[in-house]
Chains A and B, each alone.
Chain A
Amino acid sequence: MAFFDIKGLVTPFTALKQFGKAPHTVTYPYNKKETAERYRGLHFNDLEQCIGCGNCSTICMNEAIDMINIDGINGDKGDSGLRPRVDNGRCCWCALCVEVCPTGSLNLTKDYIYVTPDADSFLWTPGVSNPEGKDNISFYSDVDTSLSMFNRVPMPELDGKERIKSFAETMLYYTEEAAREEANRCISCGLCTEVCPDHMHIPEYINAIANAEDEDAIRIIYDNNPLGELCGKVCTRRCEDVCAMQVRGDAVAIRWLKEYAVGRAETADMLREIVNPDIQEPNGKKVGIIGAGPSGLTAAYYLALKGFDVTIYESNSYAGGMTMYGIPKYRLPMDSLNKQIDYMKSIGVKIEFNTHVGKDISFDDIYNQYDAVFVGIGFQKPYNMGIEGEDAIGAIPAVGLLFDVNNGKTPDVGNKVIVIGGGNVAIDGARVSRRLGAEVTIMYRRRVKDMPADWEEIEGAEHEGVEIMPQTIPVEIIKDENNKVKAIKYLRAEMVADDKGGRPRPVPIEGSETIMECTTVIGAIGQEADYSFLPEEYRNKIEINRGRMVVNDDMQTADSKIFAGGDAVNRTADAISAIADGFKAVKSIEKFLLK
């Protein structure tokens, strides 16, 4: 190229034609540019939706988020009460906290301007510092894009039509791989531990399973629950109702993971080896326990570990209480329960079977022989159905049927069974009757969604061909000449809204009487405790309110030597509450006897 390249010297001057043009990236007069739809600006948190799980704080790689108390927000079941606060000096607006928020309450807005002369005001509480941010949300994470794992690993079960041919266990439970995958879903927030009556250490044992440390998981479970496999099969799982994952997806399968963990120890000896508890020296105190149900067994186990001399008096031939005699074997097989009870016997718990207190041995003897007594008798006596003709042959209480079946008998229920009631006992009675070869119909006063039974049980019953008739009120059992059940008369009901805002009530429809033929009628409308074992003087001393024994916070009755727990004491009446009562009583008994 020649040095004096005129063209090359002159062309650059064409740039001068830009001289008069208006600026193109900034408009005059100044108009704030429209921020993009997905802009990552300052945080906004919906304080009502947030459950305070702290997952945002854990994932933040700058450690910019703290969980703090906020005035006016008190934690409750399923909400820790803490809310996130962002340190804007450290935040890099990567929005990972938004991606892992399980409820979707934390989002980013379009605001990015934060100017203040105060150099120390860099702490920003989303939702409180910008309540108007709700209208400005730009970066959010919905169920598809969120990094939380919302879908539970499915649990295989036996086919509905096949499984009624036997009492084999319906649920096939998790394999090792499935359990690890399911355990990986947990975010370890701990909201579940608060609502568990026994306060089991749930995030800890789930993380142990996720890390393939199943033995540690068993030890953590046994720290405050000696019937882990039982709970794993039949617990009411209140923990899963507040799991952080269930807000937008499926709860972590806390119960089934418990079953998996304790199920890894296949025999009582293996349990003993793995748990390897620290049994203290005998301290010379003796404790007598009435009833080998979950509350009695739990109290016995932990008292024996602390060096007490424990004996349980059980009127039946097997231990377990309602869990042995009330829960059918297809939900809780014998070997599983026996394994857990054998392990307890191996550490020194003594059980006297077939010993009915009040008949074979008097309560007075026990009271005088032992330094403390724990009463865990449960609700074994069923209520009467309260309809005409219930004295017929073939009109039986559900607990009676379940008791017989679990004892190994095969009662003849005929080919058509009507079950009255809507709780777990009713469903159990229905499904057992199916396995005994009958067609079954459940009659319940209210609607299906009002039934207090576990939804899993209702679904299982429906898969097995049980018919459920809601809004049905039986009025009379019709007998034949031999006083056997022939048919049942019932009314249909309609739901009438309650003026006071409570549940709608069923009101019988006039003239809707129908008669259905049947061979057996099973009543399952509730149970009460049988206090006949208690002599008069004790019954006057102990306060019994509406059928339940009254205890103080230490599980003590009015007589300080008598402790009580289980169904006969608490209002929730499930296995885990009974176990929790037994566990609490141990601490109090220890305090009472060894102070």
Chain B
Amino acid sequence: MTDNNLHKEQQIVDHLIGTFQNLSGKVKREKRVEVSIEKKQISSVLNYVKDHLGFVHFSHMSCVDWIEDGYFELVYILWSPKQKVQLLVKALVDRENPSVENVDMIWRQVNTYQREIREMYGIDFSGMKGAQDFILEDWDEIPPMRRDFITDEYVKEVYFERPGREDAKDVRETLVKRSGEEIPDFAKKYSRD
């Protein structure tokens, strides 16, 4: 695999940068290209790459919750069977009132991916048809894949501990008690969790 032969990948990136405003992109390695766009361009970019650049195979669609920065990142992963290049299209969606346009008329199967993301993250795909529930049934907490849904707390609320394991001890605490050591509070975060 020659590294310096990234000609066709670079061509794709340059073409897209030239065609769309506010689009940034780069070549990650051989056969891997990535572009970042704004959310209002999603439909036009996806249509364009499907019709004109040969990215006809829709591989995957995913969502990442960047709660510290306040947005969701939608990632569309496409593959071009002719040129054998994989394209990642990334768009940021605001975390308060997330809403994106529906693109399942471009590829039919996107409907399934969107249904799951709507259920798991709470992003509204305006104009999408399809049953509400995909995986979860009778779910009335916040969308579970969001980072502020803490599985630990949910489990403690809903399920009960099976008895028999209450005599578990912590190794560090046992040693501390035996030796009379006193760990200062600011150091406790470095102890083993």
Contacts and interface: CB of A to CB of B under 8 A. Distances in A.
Whether A and B touch (Cβ < 8 Å) is answered with: yes
Interface in B168-193: 168-172, 174-176, 178-181, 183-184, 186-188, 190-193
B186 to A, nearest CB: 7
Interface centre among B162, B171, B179, B181 (most CB of A within 10 A): B171
Contacts of B193: 58
Interface string A444-465: 0000000000000000000000
Nearest to B180: A199
A80 B187 contact: no
Contacts of B176: 190, 193
Interface of A: 52-54, 57-58, 66-69, 75, 80-82, 87, 89, 120, 122-123, 187-191, 193-194, 199, 201, 203-205, 207-208, 211, 216, 219-220, 223
B171 A204 contact: no
Nearest to A66: B168
Contacts of A68: 167-169
Contacts of B179: 193-194, 199
Nearest to B166: A66
A205 B168 contact: no
A220 B190 contact: yes
Contacts, number: 94
B190 A204 contact: yes
Contacts of A57: 171
Nearest to A65: B168
B169 A203 contact: no
Contacts of B165: 66, 87, 123
B171 A201 contact: no
Given A68-B169, A199-B180, A194 B175 contact: yes
Nearest to B192: A188
Given A66-B168, A216-B186, A220-B184, A80 B191 contact: no
A83 B58 CA distance: 52
Contact of B174 (A80, A201, A205): A80
20 contacts: A57-B171, A66-B168, A66-B169, A67-B168, A67-B170, A68-B168, A75-B175, A80-B171, A81-B174, A122-B164, A189-B192, A190-B171, A190-B172, A199-B179, A203-B172, A203-B190, A204-B187, A208-B190, A216-B186, A223-B184
Contact of B183 (A52, A81, A120, A201): A201
Given A123-B165, A188-B192, A80 B184 contact: no
Interface centre among A82, A122, A201, A216 (most CB of B within 10 A): A201
